[in-house]
Amino acid sequence: MRILIADDDLMSVRMMERILVLAGYEVVVADNGHDAMQHLQSPDGPRLALLDWMMPELDGPEVCRELRKDADRPYIYIVLLTSKDSKEDLVMALEAGADDFLTKPCNAGELKARLRTGHRILLLEDKLVEAREEMRFKATHDMLTGLWNRGAVQAALSYELRRLHREQSSVAVLLCDVDHFKSVNDSYGHLVGDDVLREVADRLHNAVRPGDVVGRYGGEEFLVVLRNCDHLLVVEAAERVRTTIASTPIQVRGRSLAIAISIGATVAEHSERVLVPEVLIGEADRMLYRAKQEGRNRVVISETIV
């Protein structure tokens, strides 16, 4: 693991560096507080730091306070080094954001033991962050397809409608439904059906622009939110989505299945009022119903601009 030693006392640095290299650490050295900050704030900076209390430019407590202002960065375990040993100094170090406090000159065994504690804490911190991100992903994504789930894609549409009101831009909605999907489940089973939905989801995601949003709306329905897409552009975008699904059979579990989707689309442009997602989704749903009635595997776009 990488560790920063920040100290302007060259002899002290060399002594600690020798101990830590023998203990298996990769050591980075700074001789002032400004350089220490640069090392620790870099994208791949050390997560363990030994900071001398008294340093040029920024002292150890100042470095601690600056680092703790950025709560979004990965946690850095900081040990302050000083010749001070009063309770008041310990309290000051901890209040500045230090995790531990060592009196110089450091005992080699104690130094390594304190750093092992810091390493364990960082591992626990990483596990907590990983668990939090996993929970966040599960809360916003559909577990079968990996796309945004219904709540998340509706929230994305709501955001775009507020932006539409502020910037007088445009947004289009595509409501897509896999044609004859029940017959896929009935004929081949739900595992094949799940594989078909995953492949449809991948193709939908690849058929839209990077800034657009694709989510699973429910069952075999998918909702696509197209940013800055007016009534002229939505025709091309919706047809591209449809042909991306229908042009090539889906290969699944040794079978080649011809799968198509029907799409209902609507557009909101230059609204003077803040629209709600249900308005656009409701209109797209009506267009989807027409697409099904007219023979499926087609796009029907509302002539009404919301």
Beta sheet of 100-103, edge-to-edge order: 26-30, 2-6, 48-52, 77-82, 100-103
**Residue 23 and residue 105: Cα distance in Å, rounded?**
18
Peptide bond into 249 cis (omega under 30): no
Nearest to 175 by CA among 233, 136, 217: 217
Residue 290's alpha-carbon distances to 127, 262, 294, 295, 300, in angstroms, are 50, 9, 6, 9, 7
Q: Which residues contact 174 (CB under 8 A, 6 or more apart)?
A: 223, 224, 226, 234, 237, 238, 241, 263, 264, 265, 284
Residue reference for tokens 């897409």:
229
26 annotated active-site: no
Q: 66, 220, 239, 269: which one is catalytic?
A: 220
Pairing between β-strand 255-257 and β-strand 250-252 as defined by DSSP bridges: antiparallel
Is the distance from CB of 2 to CB of 28 less than 8 angstroms?
Answer: yes
* Token code pair at residue 137: 């992903």
Catalytic amino acids? Answer: 220
